[in-house]
Amino acid sequence: MTLEEMKKQLEETLSPKRFKHSIGVMDTAVKLAEKYGEDRGKAAIAGILHDCARNIEGQEVLELCGRYGIEVNYITNLQPQLLHGPLGAALARDVYGVEDEDVIRAIACHTTGREDMTLLDKIVFIADYIEPGRKFHGVDKVRDLAYKDLDKAILISLDNTIKHILDKGVLIHPDTINARNFIIKESMK
Ligand SMILES: [Fe+2]
Ligand SMILES: [Fe+2]
């Protein structure tokens, strides 16, 4: 599928709000790719498709995970929205015809992060957090920082996410902890 065909299909699949968000993530990911020397095409595709499974809910998520061989543990079973990354990656391959493993991996880990994220993983992860439609206290600061110090911007977003999870009293996915620990470890070198 071409990028335009992907956009058309997503517009028919996602809510208008989420489609707009996806365009915002794509545009932001492309800008970050230019800044950090990542492939613009990969950033565009990973950005536009990152939430392609976000509209799937309830039992269907678990059914599709079963079909694609995506592991579900008690954390993701209790919080199936965490599976829209891995499931989106499977759909990117199966429905949207993506073959690039870098793109597929960036989609898979965009929600939780993961240990040792690649540049593309990081770009999509932070683009999801700072795209123009995001409006939360302090977003402008992270937006600026993303173009100056990518790891620091990701660390702030992970910290904010973890704080939010603690406030809500829900389960923390270990990949989020691993993402944070790894970035801190690397910064100590
Ligand atoms: Fe997402
Ligand atoms: Fe998103």
Distance 174 CA to ligand 1 centre (A): 17
Give the per-residue pLDDT at 103.
98
CATH at 130: 1.10.3210.10
Is residue 47's pLDDT more than 90?
yes
Domain count, the chain: 1
| Alpha carbon distance 13, 28 (integer Å) | 21
pLDDT digits (tens, 9 = 90+) for 87-100: 999 999 999 999 99
Give the per-residue pLDDT at 71.
95
Could you list the residue range(s) of the whole structural domain that residue 19 is in? 3-187
Share of the chain above pLDDT 90, in %: 98
Distance 138 CA to ligand 2 centre (A): 18
Of residues 128, 106, 101, the one with CA closest to residue 117: 106
Give the per-residue pLDDT at 189.
87
Dihedral sign, Cα of residue 43, residue 45, residue 46, residue 50: positive
Ligand closest to CA 25: 2
Distance 36 CA to ligand 1 centre (A): 22
Distance 184 CA to ligand 2 centre (A): 24
